[in-house]
Each structure stands twice: as C-alpha cells, then as structure tokens.
C-alpha cells in the first residue's frame, strides 16, 4: 500500500551497526504510491438532525443529551491559524488575540470560571499544530450558566498592553526541550513527513515577533479578541453562517 514511515534515533555508532538490518527491512516494504483512504462525505449527524427536526440548514453547534449525568461538557472548535499561515497577517493577529484570555493567568477564562465553581477543567486554547481554536469546559453545573458567565467576563474585558506580552509568551509555550530525546526525535520526524519542517515553524514565530513590535498591537488584539472567541462561543456575537 505504500506510505510507511521509518525514523531512527540513536548515536552514530549504533546507527552504523543497525544500518544493514534497517536496509533489509526497508527493502521488504512495498514501494507503491501512497493511496489515501477514501471516506464517505456524508455528514451523518447533520442528516439525522435534518431528518428529526426538519431543518434545512447545517447545524453549527450540536448538543448530545446524556440523562445519566448531572453536569455538562462544552467541546466547541473552529478553524484557526496553522504553521503554514506565516504570511497571513490577519490570521497571525487572530492567533495572538485568541491567547489573551487563554492559559492559566489570573485574568484568564480558566481561573475565573474555576473560581466561580462553574467548571473544572476549562478554557480557550488555540494551536497552530492542529489549526483549531477550542473552547472546552467540563463538569459544568448548568451549560448556559457557564457560557453566560464566560461571555460576560470577555465583554467587560478592557484593553491591557501587559496582556500582549502574556499572549506572545503563550504562543511560544509549545516546545520539546523538556521531552525525552527519543520523543523529540519522533515528533520531529512526524513534522517533516507532514510537511512542517523547522523552518516553517520558525517563520511562523518570527512573524509573531514582528507583530509584537506594532505600536498599537494591544488595541488591535482586543478589537479582534471577541470576534475570534465568538467562533466557539455561541451568544458572544458571531452568526452561525460566519463560523
């Protein structure tokens, strides 16, 4: 079927000793062109919703009911910047804006919601590795109450230049230097195979550092912040058609 991946992590001497065996192993693999798996394009959940409720439009937020639980969970995601978007200034600004109230800062959504007793593990996160922004909250006593609290906190947030440095710091939080040698090597090999080499990540982060020098960056990020968060928080302002 093709598409096999192989990487070797070790000292030069060990690699030399293993070279013959590795070549023998690789020689036994098929050299056919990679054929991606074919999946159906049918959107099963959407079709069931239309069937049951007679809806014509595609649902953006779907709630699944479990009568055996006493709380609820939010898992809302939307497209966001990836490492391949280094030349897209708007996406870079949106990415930084998404980090203003992310993380574990005292001002952030996580601590505020947790302190109010409206969720346990929770918060907004955005990753250029996955290209998604996500709002997650679990063990919420009442889903609408928790979401309303978060939206109110975001709406009353005032521009704070100090949070720009906070957001930039979070943008560099994804690193591997503390991971075991083998784990780092495997992750690097996967990145290269997936078309995200080190120079691509470097270019993305250099773009963020360039934006950091903008004199009005704080105002720009706070202007964008709730527009970005609205993609994963129904009720904050975005229409379903814009998500």
Q: Name which of 143-152, 209-218, 233-242 the model is least confident about.
A: 233-242
pLDDT of 52 reads 85
Structure tokens at 50: 């239309």
Structural domain includes residue 178: yes
Q: What total number of domains does the chain contain? A: 1
How many C-beta atoms lie closer than 10 Å to residue 222's C-beta?
Answer: 18
**Res. 102: pLDDT tops 70:** yes
Would you say residue 25 lies in a domain?
no
Task: Evaluate if residue 110 carries a pLDDT over 80.
Answer: yes
Asked if residue 9 belongs to a domain, the reply is no
Range of the domain at 104: 64-242
- The whole-chain average pLDDT of the chain stands at 92
Instruction: Let me know if residue 32 belongs to a domain.
Output: no
Q: What CATH number does residue 212 fall under?
A: 3.30.830.10
Q: Is residue 14 part of a domain?
A: no
Long-range contacts of residues 81-86, Cβ cutoff 8 Å, at least 24 apart: 81/126, 81/128, 81/131, 82/128, 82/129, 82/130, 82/131, 83/128, 83/129, 83/196, 83/200, 83/201, 83/204, 84/195, 84/196, 84/200, 85/128, 85/204, 86/200, 86/203, 86/204, 86/206, 86/207
Model pLDDT for residues 149-161, shown as the tens digit of each residue? 999 999 999 999 9
> Quick one: tokens of 27?
């020689």
Q: Mean per-residue pLDDT for 16-29? A: 92
The pLDDT tens digits of the residues spanning 159-214 come to 999 999 999 999 999 889 999 999 999 999 999 988 999 999 999 999 999 999 99
Q: What percent of the chain has pLDDT over 70?
A: 97
Report residue 103's pLDDT band, with 50, 70 and 90 as the boundaries: very high
In a 3-state reduction of DSSP, which class is residue 207? helix
Q: What's the average model confidence in pLDDT over 4-14?
A: 89
Whether 4 maps to a domain, the answer reads: no
Rounded-to-integer distance, Cα 203 and Cα 85, Å = 9
Q: Which residues pair with 136 in a beta bridge?
A: 75, 123
- The verdict on residue 76 lying in a domain is yes
- Domain assignment present for 200: yes
Confidence check: pLDDT of 241 > 70: no
Higher pLDDT, 12 or 61: 12
pLDDT at 104 over 70: yes
Task: Specify whether the CB–CB gap between 133 and 156 falls below 8 A.
Answer: no
**Global confidence as pTM:** 0.85
Identify each DSSP E strand in 80-117 by its residue range.
none
What three-state secondary structure class fits 159?
Answer: coil
Least confident of 55-59, 72-76, 164-168, 171-175: 55-59
CB 1 within 8 Å of CB 32:
yes
């Amino acid at each position: 079927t093709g598409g096999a991946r192989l990487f070797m992590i070790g000292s030069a001497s060990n690699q030399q000793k293993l070279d013959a065996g590795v070549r023998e192993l690789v020689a036994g693999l098929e050299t056919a062109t990679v054929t991606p798996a074919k999946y159906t394009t049918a959107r099963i959940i959407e079709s069931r919703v239309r069937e049951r409720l007679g809806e014509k439009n595609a649902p953006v937020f779907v709630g699944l009911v479990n009568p055996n639980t006493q709380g609820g969970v939010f898992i809302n995601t939307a497209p966001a910047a990836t490492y391949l978007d280094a030349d897209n200034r708007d996406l870079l600004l949106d990415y930084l804006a998404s980090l203003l109230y992310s993380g574990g800062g005292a001002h952030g959504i996580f601590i505020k919601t947790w302190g109010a007793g409206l969720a346990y593990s929770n918060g907004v996160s955005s990753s250029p590795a996955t290209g998604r922004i996500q709002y997650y909250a679990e063990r919420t006593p009442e889903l609408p109450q928790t979401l309303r609290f978060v939206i109110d906190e975001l709406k009353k947030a005032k521009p704070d230049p100090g949070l720009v440095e906070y957001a930039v710091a979070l943008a560099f939080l994804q690193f591997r230097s503390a991971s075991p040698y083998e784990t780092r090597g495997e992750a690097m090999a996967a990145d290269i195979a997936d078309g995200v080499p080190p120079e691509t990540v470097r270019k993305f982060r250099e773009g963020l550092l360039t934006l950091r020098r903008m004199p009005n960056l704080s105002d720009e990020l706070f202007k964008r912040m709730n527009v970005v968060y609205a993609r994963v928080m129904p009720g904050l302002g975005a229409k379903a058609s814009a998500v």
